[in-house]
Amino acid sequence: MNIVIVEDVDFVGERRVVLGGRRAAHIVNVLKAQVGDRLRVGRLNGDFGFGVISEIANLRVELEVDLDRSPPPPLPVSLLLALPRPKVLKRVLAAAVTMGVKEIFIFNSWRVEKSYWQSPWLGPERLREVSLLALEQACDTRLPEIFLKPRFRPFVEDEVPIMARDRDAWLLHPQTGSGFPEISSSAPSLIAVGPEGGFIPFELEMLTAAGFAMVSFGPRTLRVEQAVPAILGRFL
Amino acid sequence: MNIVIVEDVDFVGERRVVLGGRRAAHIVNVLKAQVGDRLRVGRLNGDFGFGVISEIANLRVELEVDLDRSPPPPLPVSLLLALPRPKVLKRVLAAAVTMGVKEIFIFNSWRVEKSYWQSPWLGPERLREVSLLALEQACDTRLPEIFLKPRFRPFVEDEVPIMARDRDAWLLHPQTGSGFPEISSSAPSLIAVGPEGGFIPFELEMLTAAGFAMVSFGPRTLRVEQAVPAILGRFL
């Protein structure tokens, strides 16, 4: 937890917040903070700054906050991710949000196991929890928007071409031969990452028809949880 | 398993190998391969190519192999990694090896918990196992060399300056202000990554004295398992 994220409901005064539960326990037990200590604090989807602990009692922490700085700018990347297995999904989402992605589409593809769509990790509360922890790691305050697209074809035929119209669109596919192009880190981009095993030829055709250019990371085949930070690192 | 890695001991003829155990089980149960099927095969630390299954019996798989292609070139990066907790170590090693790193130094630093050095994951057999699985993922055959450096000072004072003499040396440190420089993907480089919580000022001084330039990935603080693929991605 590199920043304490507070929400509207935590405010008991204009600049005073009271925290309980996980955040209070972390401040007391992990950070071992005491009254008078200064912590980095951010308001969910708002500004960040600092808070000074004014009281600690019964796993309840009161802070006087001063939030006057804008959060870091979003990464100019929208991520289109074929749904991976739940354990990998958590890690990939955490990486994407920590690195500043604010728009994530989780979509279906031929090699995605149908059962993955039943995972409790796709529930809005779980996605929010993973995102919040990633913001706390990143020192960021803005939650990403996460969209579930369980049907490949209408998503790629109807929605993606509109999204790709005014953005660079890169489709990561192992060993396509072409190296990775120089990326201008400020250009708004779409990045599509396939499932383990990759997209099938029909999907590759539809994605390229929708505006994606295929790129590869060279001769080695990366796992999804390695490929996503590797490509996002090009935008940092 | 994107490539079946065979070792000298598996050869029963000049081009004939017999596999048992994990690899045979994977070929039979996961790949569901049958006699006559062609699989990508590589010889540990040697060439790769293909193998045709000539026999499957009692979880024992015999292949006729034809290995005449060189493995992909190593990434020109040596990774210096402050020992993370074991779960993270496994993931970071897997990422580094999958991405082609062939020289990894795991070293001590102030914020590394002493108990981590007792982890069974630092044993040579476990490190080899993690590396082998990563090579199978990457379609690579060359094992990395992994060196343990449990004493920070002699490593950074005596060994690192020699290593840094003819290489670019980048030290990843959150929020140092400077953005990330353009990296020439062919320049031999050292990359140092600190523990969760970062290096302490004394360590930063010693590392910069040893030849490292501090760089940051921007305003957000990444986890080690995100920072390593992100920086290695610059070399792909």
Give B67-94 as a DSSP string: EEEPPPPPPSEEEEEE---HHHHHHHHH
Q: How far is A158 from chain B (nearest CA, A)?
A: 32
In CATH, what is the architecture of B4-69? Answer: Beta Barrel (2.40)
In this complex, do B220 and A180 lie within 8 Å of one another by their Cβ atoms? no
For B139, which of A180, A220, A232 is closest by C-beta distance? A220
**Confidence (pLDDT) at B235:** 87
Contact at 8 Å (CB) between A35 and A51?
no
Contact at 8 Å (CB) between B167 and B188?
yes
For B221, which of A137, A222, A234 is closest by C-beta distance? A137
**Preferred mutation among A47, A91, A185, A226 to probe B, highest tally of B CBs within 10 A:** A226
Question: In chain A, what residues touch B95 (CB-CB under 8 Å)?
Answer: 223, 225-226
CATH 3.40.1280.10 positions along chain A are 77-235
Least confident of A102-106, A117-121, B57-61, B177-181: B177-181
Whether residue A177 has pLDDT greater than 60: no
Question: In chain B, what residues touch A232 (CB-CB under 8 Å)?
Answer: 230
* pTM for the structure as a whole: 0.94
Residue of B nearest to A229 (CA): B230
For A229, which of B218, B221, B230 is closest by C-beta distance? B230
ipTM of the complex: 0.93
* Mean local confidence (pLDDT), A125-150: 97
Question: In chain B, what residues touch A137 (CB-CB under 8 Å)?
Answer: 221-223
Q: How confident is the model at residue A162 (pLDDT cuts 50, 70, 90)?
A: very high
pLDDT in tens, chain B (236 residues): 899 999 999 999 999 999 999 999 999 999 999 999 999 999 999 999 999 999 999 889 999 999 999 999 999 999 999 999 999 999 999 999 999 999 999 999 999 999 999 999 999 999 999 999 999 999 999 999 999 999 999 999 999 999 999 999 999 988 765 666 666 667 899 999 999 889 999 999 999 999 999 888 888 999 999 999 999 988 88
Contact at 8 Å (CB) between B19 and B10?
yes
* Mean local confidence (pLDDT), A82-102: 97
In this complex, do B221 and A2 lie within 8 Å of one another by their Cβ atoms? yes
For A98, which of B2, B226, B231 is closest by C-beta distance? B226
Mean of all residue pLDDT scores within chain A: 94
In this complex, do A226 and B98 lie within 8 Å of one another by their Cβ atoms? yes
Q: What is residue A19's three-state secondary structure?
A: strand
Q: How far is A223 from chain B (nearest CA, A)?
A: 8
Closest by Cα among A112, A35, A83, A144 to B220: A144
For B220, which of A91, A98, A234 is closest by C-beta distance? A98
Question: In chain B, what residues touch A99 (CB-CB under 8 Å)?
Answer: 220, 222, 226, 230
For B226, which of A219, A221, A229 is closest by C-beta distance? A229
Question: In chain A, what residues touch B233 (CB-CB under 8 Å)?
Answer: 217, 229-231, 233-234
Phi, psi of A220 (to 5 degrees): -100, 150
**Preferred mutation among B90, B222, B234, B235 to probe A, highest tally of A CBs within 10 A:** B222
**Confidence (pLDDT) at A216:** 86
Question: In chain A, what residues touch B140 (CB-CB under 8 Å)?
Answer: 220
In this complex, do B230 and A236 lie within 8 Å of one another by their Cβ atoms? yes
Whether residue A175 has pLDDT greater than 80: no
In this complex, do A220 and B98 lie within 8 Å of one another by their Cβ atoms? yes
In this complex, do A217 and B236 lie within 8 Å of one another by their Cβ atoms? yes
Question: In chain B, what residues touch A138 (CB-CB under 8 Å)?
Answer: 220-222
Edge-to-edge strand ranges of the sheet holding B4-6:
B4-6, B38-43, B48-57, B60-69, B16-19
**Confidence (pLDDT) at A183:** 66
CATH 2.40.240.20 positions along chain B are 4-69
Interstrand relation of A213-215 and B16-19 (parallel, antiparallel or unpaired): unpaired
Residue with the bigger pLDDT between A197 and A35: it is A35
DSSP letter string, B170-233: EEE-TT-S--PPP--TTS-EEEEE--TT---HHHHHHHHHTTPEEE--SSS---HHHHHHHHHG
In this complex, do A138 and B222 lie within 8 Å of one another by their Cβ atoms? yes
In this complex, do A236 and B219 lie within 8 Å of one another by their Cβ atoms? no
* Mean local confidence (pLDDT), A149-177: 91
Question: In chain A, what residues touch B232 (CB-CB under 8 Å)?
Answer: 230
Q: What is residue A205's three-state secondary structure?
A: helix
Q: What is residue A62's three-state secondary structure?
A: strand
Residue of A nearest to B218 (CA): A236
Tens of pLDDT, residues A18-67 = 999 999 999 999 999 999 999 999 999 999 999 999 999 988 999 999 99
* Mean local confidence (pLDDT), A191-212: 95
Interstrand relation of A77-82 and A213-215 (parallel, antiparallel or unpaired): unpaired
**Confidence (pLDDT) at A181:** 66
What top-level class would CATH report for the domain B77-235? alpha beta
In this complex, do A220 and B95 lie within 8 Å of one another by their Cβ atoms? no
Q: What percent of chain A has pLDDT over 90?
A: 87
Question: In chain A, what residues touch B217 (CB-CB under 8 Å)?
Answer: 233, 236
Question: In chain B, what residues touch A2 (CB-CB under 8 Å)?
Answer: 221
Q: How confident is the model at residue A236 (pLDDT cuts 50, 70, 90)?
A: confident
Question: In chain B, what residues touch A77 (CB-CB under 8 Å)?
Answer: none
**Confidence (pLDDT) at A180:** 65
Contact at 8 Å (CB) between B185 and B236?
yes
